[in-house]
Amino acid sequence: MAADMRAIQPESLYKLHLECEERPDGRKLDAARTTVVTRGGITTADGSAFCRSGHTSVLCGIKAEVCTPATDAPPDRGWVVPNLELPALCHHRFRPGPPSEAAQTASAQLLQLLDASGALDRTQLCIEAGQAVWVLYCDLICLSHDGNVLDVALLALSAALTDLRLPSAEWDATEERLRVKPAQRTPLKLGPLPLAATLAVFDKETLVLDPAGDEEMLCEASVTVAWAGDSMVLLDKTGGCELSLEAMDRCIALSKKRSLELKKLLDCCTQSGEVEKGE
Amino acid sequence: MCAYMWAPPFSAVSTMELLSDQGLRVDGRRAHELRNVECRLGVFGRADGSAYLEQGNTRVLATVYGPHEARAAQRRHDVASINCQYRQAVFSGWERGRRAGGGGDRRAQELGALLQNTLESVVLVELYPRSQIDVYVQVLQADGGTYATCVNAATLALIDAGVALRDYVCACSASVLRDQPLVDLNSLETSGAPELTAALLPRSGRLPLLEMSQRFHVDKLGELLDVAETACRDVHTILNRAVRRHVSARSSEK
């Protein structure tokens, strides 16, 4: 019965769920899905992390490369290049082909979030000013898509950055060449990492944390709030309906709570290096 | 953009070092030994079928969607069309690969087409007329024998999706080094020796795929095929065991 109704009238069914304050997957409205972080699974990458939240999984691998800074760029700063892929593998709706608009937007948003948070001082990536700097290619692959990819991708990116170990490199001024020792590796010094929480809006004021794929399709609007420590780095509301200031305040409070949970999760995994679970 | 590269940890290994006098390979295996295989079926709940396969340090994920209604361009009135995509993550190798998409990666396209041919020989396509089966494989980490691992993972994902198959397709790579046939090469051995990838249908003993890189003497071919066949049968045993374990775990859940 429920399956029929889900196919024919998904919206009415979901409204019924909201009236009972329980979502189709059994969660409360302000509960996130079980989130798992695993670091360092990919040994060919300089840093890697795998994050799963419900049925959404993102794998992030970071490769560090050396390059000469462009003449119009600051000579003593490296770059970070995040790139999120949404391959056909992750959802039946996606088709093989060039990167979709959604993937490109998310990649740009990840870079913006990382810059805004100030988590990574890019002067750390400088080997010799004007001669050689590190470029961190952060490639994120969405392996399974069930809503809220940006939050999971950002968590994966943050976790991979904590896992990153850069090879020690020195600039030999006399020979004008670079000496890299891949065996000696050091972690980066990182500030508070950006962590995001997304809420879906139904009926202009009902807020649902960590929307799954179906909820993302049905919702009227979605609000993403990202935090780095105590400061807000992104507030993004997309979608049609207007939102009262009171609802916005609740969004901010809920996202803050969620980002603290995620931070705890990230800290656990930073210490033990292995899998940790959290709500 | 990239002005300096440092060599991967193994840049120059001579063929002498790939096989010790005691007959041991660089990773301590004997010539006929496979690497450790770990596999899991049904890793993603949202796909119709999925499998994760780890063969040594080569890690591959395969996902199957379908059979579903085919798009007009791919629809065939009497059989199902199989649509394959092979993707290799940019961080999967020692050197960062080219970005996927935009038609940039010809080798990936070739391997996708090759996988499609291999799978067409084994899926009972006539059971699903006017429909389409999508098989997507994603290489997460590549350490030799990537294509063979992809074929094995795709088989497991098809089984997980419940698509009717004639048989398993089991693939393995093989090579010959100083007159000694080797199976299941890692990336170090691939760089120093010719590589032959064979896929086998274990019940009929037919080979739906045979691909080789670099030249070697034709006299060696017979021996090499025998070795590859045995290795494919070993792979079959492992895959079969994994499928049975998965099915019994599923049935005990219910």
pLDDT tens, residue by residue, B73-104: 888 999 999 999 999 998 988 777 655 443 45
Residues of chain A in contact with residue B83, where contact means CB-CB under 8 angstroms, are 96
Check if the beta carbon of residue A63 is closer than 8 Å to that of residue A48: no
Residues of chain A in contact with residue B134, where contact means CB-CB under 8 angstroms, are 88, 92
Q: A44 and B87: CB-CB below 8 Å?
A: no
User: How do strand A221-228 and strand A194-202 relate by DSSP bridges?
Assistant: antiparallel
| Residue B241 or residue B74, greater confidence | B241
pLDDT, position B16: 57
- Listed by start position, the domains of chain B span 2-253
Q: Does B65 touch chain A (CB under 8 A)?
A: yes
Domain presence at residue A103: yes
Residue B107 burial class via C-beta count within 10 angstroms: exposed 0-12, middle 13-18, buried 19 and up = exposed
Domain presence at residue A3: no
Please name the fold of domain B2-253: Ribosomal Protein S5; domain 2 (3.30.230)
Chosen for mutation from A33, A44, A100 (greatest number of chain B CBs closer than 10 Å) is A44
Interface A-B, measured as beta-carbon pairs within 8 A, has a size of 107
Give the whole-angstrom CA distance, residue A203 versus residue A221: 10
pLDDT tens, residue by residue, B98-152: 554 434 578 888 999 999 999 999 999 999 999 999 999 999 999 989 999 999 9
pLDDT, position B10: 47
Q: Over 80: is that where the pLDDT of B64 sits?
A: yes
- The answer for A 4-23 residues in CB contact with B (under 8 A) is none
Residue of B91, B102, B136 lying closest to A42 (CB–CB) = B91
In the block, residue with structure tokens 């389409």? B132
- Structural domain boundaries, residue A210: 34-269
pLDDT, position B11: 43
pLDDT tens, residue by residue, B40-60: 999 998 899 999 999 999 999
pLDDT band, residue B215 (cuts 50/70/90): confident
Q: Does B85 touch chain A (CB under 8 A)?
A: yes
* ipTM exceeds 0.90, yes or no: no
Q: Does A91 touch chain B (CB under 8 A)?
A: yes
pLDDT tens, residue by residue, A14-29: 888 888 889 988 999 9
Give the whole-angstrom CA distance, residue A15 versus residue A33: 20
pLDDT, position A70: 84
Task: Give percent of chain B above pLDDT 70.
Answer: 91
Number of residues written out for chain B: 254
3-class secondary structure, B160: helix
pLDDT, position B174: 94
pLDDT, position B9: 46
Q: Does A137 touch chain B (CB under 8 A)?
A: yes
Q: Does B68 touch chain A (CB under 8 A)?
A: yes
pLDDT, position B98: 58
Residues of chain A in contact with residue B51, where contact means CB-CB under 8 angstroms, are none
Q: A55 and B99: CB-CB below 8 Å?
A: no
Give the whole-angstrom CA distance, residue B146 versus residue A26: 40
Phi and psi based region of residue B246 (left: phi greater than 0; alpha: psi -120 to 50; beta: remaining): alpha
Q: What is the layout of strands, in order, in the sheet containing B206-213?
A: B180-183, B170-177, B195-201, B206-213
Task: Give percent of chain A above pLDDT 70.
Answer: 96
Q: Where are the beta strands (DSSP E) in chain A?
A: 35-39, 47-53, 56-67, 79-85, 126-128, 132-144, 165-172, 177-187, 194-202, 206-209, 221-228, 231-239, 276-278
Domain presence at residue A260: yes
pLDDT, position B4: 41
Number of domains observed in the structure of chain A: 1
Q: What is the layout of strands, in order, in the sheet containing B131-141?
A: B37-41, B49-55, B58-69, B131-141, B81-88
Domain presence at residue A71: yes
Q: A167 and B5: CB-CB below 8 Å?
A: no
Domain presence at residue A21: no
pLDDT, position A277: 47
pLDDT tens, residue by residue, B226-239: 999 999 999 999 99
Q: A92 and B93: CB-CB below 8 Å?
A: no
Check if the beta carbon of residue B96 is closer than 8 Å to that of residue B157: no
Look up residue B47 and give its DSSP letter. Answer: S
pLDDT, position B212: 87
Q: B1 and A44: CB-CB below 8 Å?
A: no
Q: A88 and B89: CB-CB below 8 Å?
A: no
| Residue stretches of chain A with pLDDT short of 70 | 1, 270-279
Give the whole-angstrom CA distance, residue B153 versus residue B147: 10
3-class secondary structure, B130: coil
Residues of chain B in contact with residue A43, where contact means CB-CB under 8 angstroms, are 57, 141
pLDDT, position B13: 53
The amino acid that residue B142 corresponds to is A
Q: B91 and A63: CB-CB below 8 Å?
A: yes
pLDDT, position A9: 87
pLDDT, position A5: 80
pLDDT tens, residue by residue, B22-42: 888 988 899 999 999 999 999
pLDDT, position B14: 58
Q: Does A223 touch chain B (CB under 8 A)?
A: no
Mean pLDDT of chain B: 87
Compute the average pLDDT of residues B11-15: 51
Residue of A65, A85, A98 lying closest to B2 (CB–CB) = A65
Q: What is the pTM of this model?
A: 0.91
Task: State the CATH number of the domain containing residue A227.
Answer: 3.30.230.70
Q: Does B82 touch chain A (CB under 8 A)?
A: no
